[in-house]
Amino acid sequence: MNQIAKEDVLAASEGLKAIAHEIRLTVLCHLLQGPMTVSELLKATETEQTNLSKHLSKMRMLGVVETEKQGNFVQYRIANPDWGEVINALKKIYCPD
């Protein structure tokens, strides 16, 4: 708080909760490459439809992703491209070269 306001820390911690899960982090990584439909994310995450749907819902409610309905499909995209920088920093920490 020296540097960041209390309310911003709270908001950021909520945002972190939105991606602090194996499936949701996987979704985020994929969406960084571009928007994807639920069906595509389903293949990518190898989980149950209903389970993925809940994770996507959580990410949407916490403002990390946005959706756009396209006919029968729903396309998900990252709400703020700066999440890419978060992922890049995580890669430095967790992905050995």
d(C-alpha 80, C-alpha 94), whole Å = 22
Residue 73 lies near DNA (rule: CB under 7 A):
yes
Q: Does 57 bind DNA (CB under 7 A)?
A: yes
- 50 contributes a contact to a second copy by CB under 8 A: no
For the stretch 75-85, what's the b/e string if a residue is b when 16 or more beta carbons lie within 10 angstroms of its beta carbon?
A: bbebbeeebee
Q: Which range binds DNA by CB under 7 A, 4-12, 32-40, 84-92?
A: 32-40
Applying CB under 7 A, among 30, 66, 67, 86 the residue interacting with DNA is 67
